[in-house]
A and B are shown apart, each in its own frame.
Chain A
Amino acid sequence: MDNLVILFVIVPLGSAFLIPIIGKFIPHFQKALSLLALLFLCTLILNYLFTGNSQCIIYKVAGWEAVENVPIGIYLVLDGLSAFLLLIINSIGFLVVFYSFSYMRKYTAENYFYTLLCLMIAGMNGVVLTGDLFNLYVFLEIAVIASYALVAFGIEKDELEASFKYQVLGGIASLLILLGISLLYWQTKTLNMADISHVISTQADSKTTLFIQIILITGFGIKGAMIPFHAWLPDAHSSAPSPISSMLSGVLIKAIGIYAIIRLFYNMFAITYEIALIITVIGTLSMVIGGLLAIGQWDLKRLLAYSSISQMGYVVIGIGMGMLILISNGDKMVASMAVAGGLFHLINHAVFKGLLFLNAGAIEYATGTRDLKQMGGLAKDMPVTSSTSMSASMAISGIPPFNGFFSKLLIIIAAIKGQYYLLAALAVLVSIITLAYFLKFQRYAFFNKTKYTGSALVKEVPFTMAFSMIVMGVLCLVLSLLIFPGIREIILSPAVEVLMETTEYSSKIIGL
């Protein structure tokens, strides 16, 4: 397993290279290759999770060994948190590719679609694996440049406009991240995250560090669409083809926005009160304002996009609250409960928001519209779409026994135990708001008396689309098992442990 870590980057990158060359001559080559590549990566990561006992694997690229405990090459680090994110990226990616078989038939240039998708997955896998800051920036750019192109894939007016907006904001975010990285290099003369953590802890200049932290929070906040920086998300996520919306909302904002914030501020920088407070406040704002904005939307995908902002707020609150409790010397159990809630909500959100966007795609595929006012009574004609979207809607609004209930419960219990009563109240309130706008979606799309009056003949979507939706719909239910002891230790606990040991991460990597 030790040397297989690099495959997570090489396999999708190689597929992205081969597809446009060979795909031209052999029909269906692009679909088969991307599907097989992602299936292989899924088995690899599941194999690691179930046999690896969550030990930390360090892969030194090109075999550059550390000199006197100072790392000089690029390190790829596979630990509990990385494995957790890799599982999300590759499994959702696999289902999305399967869904795209039928959905993308109406577009031309399918080769380029699968190329860009593989490129995006290669970038995201790289971001969550790398232990080197500049390498993180490079992989992040690979992922986002592919996503810029994928947002504009329909090349109609809306798509192009959304893509331009996304690119300008995303570009500014990338520049801020690069500026933060170069300032950090200036201060510490190293790029390895573990080494930076070590150097900062010995020769701290807290004002410069705070400045760098603010720049990095802004950069990754724009990438992760936290509320003051969210303007691009509703446009970009609603304009992209539906499988891509599902990837963007379900995976991309987590892998390059939230993951980077978690990794850098738990494992690299020493936690400070100011930063913990900023992260919690940003999360609260996202949760409340995103939820309120979602209610008024009539465009289905736009509603889902705003809801993404709101649900990512829950994740960030869990993370920020964990930091607050850790820094104020609170109970470590409560802190780990908050973090576990945040991470659990992250995997849940990837599944149900991915599924909801696939449902939106199925509705658009069958009826040709995204406007909720023009739909109605689709439940009878599209039973699979209707029932899976019901499952996802109940999961996202936190109704037991679906997975969303357990993750929100964990966050709320942690907030009460840590005496953040306002946060707990807001989390409950936003959960009710979420239920409100998903009931609106259910009522107008599926159970309205007024029948859909479009010209297209409405019928159920083809098999591959239905298959992906059913798998994810079942996952919405099955994932709630993750909370129970015995299964929790396999996937969730290793990720939480990595965060709970905070800067000891550094000594584990560079071996001091």
Chain B
Amino acid sequence: MAYILCFILFLVGLYGVLTKRNLIKIVIGFSIMEFSVFLFLVMIGYIDGAQAPILIEGMKNTEFVDPLPQAMVLTAIVIGLATTAMLLAIAIRIYKKYGTFDITKINNLRG
């Protein structure tokens, strides 16, 4: 069920990137896509009813969730932050040069 939610989120983001004309909205769509992948990544390691993998004495339940995807998603979020910051920085620079966020008016390059 939750996997389908990830997929829907991914498509929502892709729709935003492909159809919106405003640069900032494209960035938002891109972020939505990004987070759908992160959500998927963190759900891979989830096991129903399992514990966090912290070893303490006298433990009875020995079923743990997988900690590796959590470490991976943290790294991926940091990288995502860098990508988004870079996109926004360029978007603001474009606004200073062209005076608009509308991509149909930003068309110096063709092909």
- A163 close to B90 (CB less than 8 A): yes
In the assembled complex, A162 has its CB within 8 A of some CB on chain B: yes
Cβ of B58 < 8 Å from any Cβ of A? Answer: no
Q: How far is the CA of A137 from the CA of B83 in the complex (A)?
A: 13
In contact, A182 and B108 (Cβ under 8 angstroms): no
Interface membership of A178, Cβ < 8 A: yes
Chain A interfacial positions (CB closer than 8 Å to B): 134, 137-138, 141, 145, 148-149, 152, 155-158, 160-165, 167-168, 171-172, 174-175, 178-179, 182, 185-186, 189, 191, 234-235, 239, 293, 302
A179: which of B37, B66, B94 is its contact (CB, 8 Å)? B37
Measured as residues with beta carbon below 8 angstroms from the partner, the interface class of chain B is 20 to 34
Residues of B within 8 A of A179 (CB): 37, 40
Query: B41 at the A/B interface (Cβ < 8 Å)?
Result: yes
Q: Are A178 and B37 in touch, CB under 8 angstroms? A: yes
> Is A161 a contact of B76 with CB atoms below 8 Å?
no
Q: Are B94 and A134 in contact (CB under 8 A)?
A: no
Pick the 9 closest A-B CB pairs, nearest first.
A182-B41, A141-B79, A186-B44, A235-B109, A160-B94, A164-B90, A157-B97, A160-B93, A175-B37
Name the residue on A nearest B14 (C-beta).
A172
When chains A and B are docked, how far (Å) is the Cα of A189 from the Cα of B82? 28
* Interface class of chain B by DSSP: helix
A178–B41 CB distance below 8 A? yes
* Alpha-carbon gap, A163 to B69, bound state (A): 31
Residues in B lying within 8 Å of A, measured CB to CB:
14, 17, 23, 26, 30, 33-34, 37, 40-41, 44, 66, 68-69, 72, 75-76, 79, 82-83, 86-87, 90-91, 93-94, 97-98, 106-109, 111
Please measure, in the bound complex, the distance between the C-alpha atom of A227 and the C-alpha atom of B83, giving whole angstroms.
25
The reply to whether A171 and B30 contact each other, CB–CB distance below 8 Å, is yes
Chain B neighbourhood of A234, CB < 8 A: 111
**Whose C-beta in chain A lies nearest to the C-beta of B87?**
A167
Chain A, residue nearest B40 (CB): A182
A175 & B33 in contact (Cβ 8 Å cutoff): yes
Given contacts A178-B37, A178-B41, contact A141 B83 (CB under 8 A): yes
Residues of A within 8 A of B41 (CB): 178, 182
In the complex, the answer to whether B76 meets A164 with C-beta atoms within 8 Å is no
Q: Are A134 and B72 in contact (CB under 8 A)?
A: yes
Task: Determine the chain B residues whose CB is within 8 A of the CB of A174 once the complex forms.
Answer: 83
In the complex with contacts A157-B97, A157-B108, A172-B17, A182-B69 CB distance below 8 A: yes
Q: If the complex has contacts A157-B98, A182-B37, A185-B69, are A164 and B23 also in contact, measured as CB distance less than 8 A?
A: yes
Contact of B94 among A137, A164, A185 (CB under 8 A): A164
In the bound complex, residues from chain A placing their C-beta under 8 Å from that of B79 are: 138, 141, 145
Q: Is the CB of A162 within 8 A of B109?
A: yes
| B97 and A145 contact, CB distance less than 8 A | no
Contacts of A186 in B (CB 8 A): 44
Contacts of B72 in A (CB 8 A): 134, 182, 185
